[in-house]
Each structure stands twice: as structure tokens, then as C-alpha cells.
Amino acid sequence: MCRCRAFTLAELLIALVILGVIATFTIPKVLQAQADQQARAVVLEGAGMISNAFTAYQQQNSIVSTTKPSDLTPYMNYVRVVTTGSVDGIPTLVTSSCASVLCLQLHNGSILWTNDYTFNGTSTMSAIYFQVDPDGKVTGLPGDEGLSVGLWLYTNGRMTSRGYILAGTIDGNVACPCSPSPSWDPSWFHWN
């Protein structure tokens, strides 16, 4: 006669409860990490498109103090110009006394927008500014703020995010007075 040992029903239920508790804490973190990586990839794709458009523009034109982001759009790959709503609380395609906001929807669903300021100089500290909103929500609703990443493109082709902006950068005709801080970028995005 063979006496086989097995787990009791109570032991199996306890093991399942422990696995459920572990899953409750780990699954949301894994899903958030995946979403953060996807958003970071979308921003880097937008930065690459801006950089490539700048290079293509340079091959046919000289970079001058009046060069602005809209000069690069013929060299960009986008779906459409967004003309309604707002992105992160900024109205799209609105003209003010300073400049207009240009808003482009990209193929990956993200939104690239910029104030159409000029370089206003050709020194290596002169820059134009872009913003990439990876979720592509064209709203001004609460909860959609802070999801975008600011990118600066310098006249020498260097690009950096807001958190790594060079001290002394001149954005359009405005000197950026503060020192860079990586905490200015969203927690899921790191330029390096």
C-alpha cells in the first residue's frame, strides 16, 4: 500500500492568495514602466525628426538669425496641422503679438508644437524651442499637463531637453536666466 502526500485545499488557497497579493503590487508598476518607456521613445522619435529636418534644411539653406521652426516643417514627416483645441493648456495655432503656436500631429499619435520664434542670432547659444506631447491629447483638461517634454535646438545642430538646457541659452529673443535642472523633465524622461 502506497501513501501519497499531496497539498491540502487550504494550502493551495493560501498559495493563490499570496500570488494574488504579489501580482496586485507588481502588475501596475510593470504597466507604468512600459507606458513610460513608450512615451520616452515617442519623444526621442520627435527629437530625431526635428534633428533630421534641421540637417535637411541646412543642406539647402543657411542658418540665419531669422530661421524659425516653421522653416523646418517642409522637411518633417507629420500627419496634419492641428488647428483646434489646446495641447497641455496652450491653444493651438493661435497668433499673439509675439508669434504663433504651430501644432503638428505626428504619425505615432503624438503632438509636436512650437512657438514660432526665430533663432534671433547665430551664436552657439541661440536656440529654438519645441514641445513633444507623447499622448497626443489635444485638450486643456486637468491631468494632461506635464506630460510633454521641451526640446531646444541650437544653431550648431545640438539638441537637448529642458532639464539639460545649456546655461546662457537664448530662446528666440529671451535669455533663459536659470540653470538647467534634470527635474524639469518628466520623471519618465532622461535626455542622456
Lowest mean pLDDT among 10-19, 99-108, 174-183: 174-183
Model confidence pTM above 0.85: no
Q: Quickly tell me which residue has 520627435 as its cell.
A: 46
Cβ-Cβ contacts under 8 Å for 150 (sequence gap 6 or more): 129, 130, 131, 161, 162, 184, 185
Q: Using CA atoms, how far apart are residues 103 and 118, in angstroms rounded to an integer? A: 16
CA quadruple 58, 64, 70, 71: dihedral sign = negative
Q: Which of 97, 99, 91, 96 is nearest to 115 (CA)?
A: 99
Class of domain 9-184 (CATH, top level): alpha beta
Q: Using CA atoms, how far apart are residues 100 and 86, in angstroms rounded to an integer? A: 13
Question: Cβ distance 153 to 160 under 8 Å?
Answer: no
| The pLDDT value given to residue 169 | 82
Give percent of the chain with pLDDT exceeding 90. Answer: 30
pLDDT single digits (tens) 133-187: 888 765 544 444 557 888 989 999 999 988 888 888 877 666 665 567 777 788 8
Other CB atoms within a 10 A radius of the CB of residue 7 amount to: 10
Question: Cβ distance 130 to 102 under 8 Å?
Answer: no
Task: Return the domain boundaries, the chain.
Answer: 9-184
Question: Cβ distance 171 to 127 under 8 Å?
Answer: yes
Q: Using CA atoms, how far apart are residues 37 and 40, in angstroms rounded to an integer? A: 5
With the CA atoms of 10, 16, 20 and 22 taken in that order, what torsion angle do they form, in degrees rounded to the nearest 10? Answer: 100
